[in-house]
Amino acid sequence: SRTVSIAAIPGDGIGPEVVAEALKVLHAAAPDDVDFAITEFELGAGRYLETGDVLPDDELERIKQHDAIVLGAVGGVPGDPRLVGANIERGLLLKLRFDLDHYVNLRPTVLFPGAVSPLAHPGEVDFVVVREGTEGAYVGNGGSMRTGTPHEVATEVSLNTAYGVERLVRYAFQLATTRRSKLTLVHKTNVLTNAGALWKRLTDAVAAEYPTVAVDYLHIDAATIFFVTDPARFDVIVTDNLFGDILTDLAGAISGGIGLAASGNINPDGSAPSMFEPVHGSAPDIAGQQKADPTAAILSIALLLDHLGYADSAARVSDAVRADLASRAETGAPRRTSETGDAIVALLTSKD
């Protein structure tokens, strides 16, 4: 049998609650000859408050030795004065995405039967946002001058490289050929003329190599309209880091809630482990109460299995989630976090 090593970073708030269920499902879905060996790393706002560490170098090195990473969520309670200036999100989550070259932030959206969309007529929602993960407004290219004065100046410059955009766009086109062969670039080329021109030009150039893929362009503001009025029009969406962040919370909302939205931070070249996490955050408002829906974390396990080459196991997890959502719609009763994990594990094991 084969051992696959997983670094688990449960994190803060509901992170540990949803990761516990995700790991149950990972073990239940594992192929017979594969053993998932989990190493937990206690990182996040909680760790920072205890020890002052955000992501020590030696721990980052140890995380990198694993085959894949599962992350819950990081981020402390809003307004906690002890966290002012700490920035766990940047020092931990973004540090991992950047250092491990997770340039593809893959965020699929499916409206499963039984999941309740707030849209009256959502149609067949099945698209994937290919969000850039290592550039854009997230790079920390900026600063503050005359801080705290009435004349403060703050900048946050979005960094876009031809190398970074082209590799992402190529991934998105390739993905489109495995789906409905439709790709939509989302940007703001009418105002962000420098970065916009780069994204548009490289998308057009790669499009020429994929004549079977239909290519479309939308400004980010108009894209949010169509997410609400006609989400079924989308197949693959390719966009920058910040637009992709915002669009994917909206995608979660229209497809049954943020508690269902999964993601993979992918290093397609395999030079470092990829990382799988729900799109949502630490949800301090419901943390520690077993109220969080672990489905997003569980669907992230399906992405992990697929990434590691266990497509059958991945499909079994998605099928179990699909069946669970359908049965939830019938009963309608509120569930504890662990009940959902247990229900999905039961569906997986009953099929054996």
Instruction: Pick the binder of ligand IPM from 17, 89, 132, 135 (CB under 6 A).
Output: 89
Say how far apart CA 173 and CA 210 lie, in whole Å.
7
β partners of residue 39: 7
Ramachandran region, residue 155 (left: φ > 0; alpha: ψ -120 to 50; beta: rest): beta
Of residues 21, 135, 240, 245, which one binds ligand IPM by CB under 6 A? 245
Q: How far is CA 334 from CA 113, 190, 299, in A?
A: 18, 45, 20
- 270 assigned to a ligand binding site: no
Judged by beta carbon, residue 69 or residue 186, the one nearer ligand NAD is 69
Whether 24 is a known active-site residue: answer no
Q: How far is the CB of 138 from Mn ion (least distance, A)?
A: 11
**Which of these, 342, 171, 196, 159, lies nearest to 269 by C-alpha position?**
171
Cα 263 to Cα 248: distance, rounded to the nearest angstrom: 10
Q: Which stretch binds Mn ion (CB under 5 A): 144-152, 187-195, 202-210, 238-246?
A: 238-246
User: Taking the complex as a whole, how short is the minimal distance between the CB of residue 88 and ligand NAD, in angstroms?
Assistant: 7
Choosing from 35, 53, 80, 221, which is the catalytic residue? 221
Stretch that binds ligand IPM, among 87-95, 226-234, 303-311, 340-348 (CB under 6 A): 87-95
How many whole angstroms separate alpha carbon 310 and alpha carbon 303? 10
The residues of the shown chain that bind ligand NAD, judged by CB under 6 A, are: 14, 18, 73-75, 89, 93, 258-259, 277, 280-286, 292-293, 296
Please report the DSSP string for 272-331 in residue order: S-EEEEESS---TTTTTTT-S-THHHHHHHHHHHHHTT-HHHHHHHHHHHHHHHHHHHHH
Residue choice 279, 299, 303, 348 for contact with ligand IPM (CB under 6 A): 279
Stretch that binds Mn ion, among 167-175, 183-191, 245-253, 335-343 (CB under 5 A): 245-253
Q: Is 351 an active-site residue? A: no
Which residue lies nearest ligand IPM, judged by its C-beta? 89
Task: For residue 240, state whether it binds Mn ion (rule: CB under 5 A).
Answer: no
User: Does 89 contact Mn ion by CB under 5 A?
Assistant: no
Query: Can 221 be counted among the known catalytic residues?
Result: yes
Q: From the DSSP assignment, how many helices (H) and strands (E) are in the chain? A: 12, 12
Q: Which does 168 bind (CB under 5 to 8 A by kind): ligand NAD, Mn ion, ligand IPM, none?
A: none
Q: What DSSP element (H or E) covers 164?
A: helix 162-177
Identify the helix (H) or strand (E) that includes residue 239: strand 236-239
Find, among 65, 54, 46, 51, the residue nearest to 93 by Cα. 54
Among 245, 306, 310, 324, which one carries the catalytic annotation? 245
Asked if 94 is part of the footprint of ligand IPM (rule: CB under 6 A), the reply reads yes
94 binds, among ligand IPM, ligand NAD, Mn ion, none (CB under 5 to 8 A by kind): ligand IPM
The answer on whether 286 is annotated among ligand-binding residues is: yes
Q: Does 245 bind Mn ion (CB under 5 A)?
A: yes
In the set 67, 99, 230, 249, the catalytic residue is: 249
Instruction: Answer yes or no: 249 catalytic.
Output: yes
Instruction: Give the chain's length.
Output: 352
Our CB check for ligand NAD shows the closer of 192 and 345 to be: 345
Sequential DSSP letters for 4-48: EEEEEEEESTTHHHHHHHHHHHHHHHS-TTEEEEEEE---SHHHH
Whether the Cβ atoms of residue 74 and residue 92 lie closer than 8 Å to each other: yes
Which chain residues interact with ligand IPM by CB under 6 A? Answer: 89, 93-94, 245, 279, 281
Binding residue positions for Mg(2+): 221, 245, 249
Annotated binding site for NAD(+): 281-293
Tell me which residues are annotated as active site.
138, 188, 221, 245, 249
Would you tell me which residues interact with Mn ion (CB under 5 A)? 245
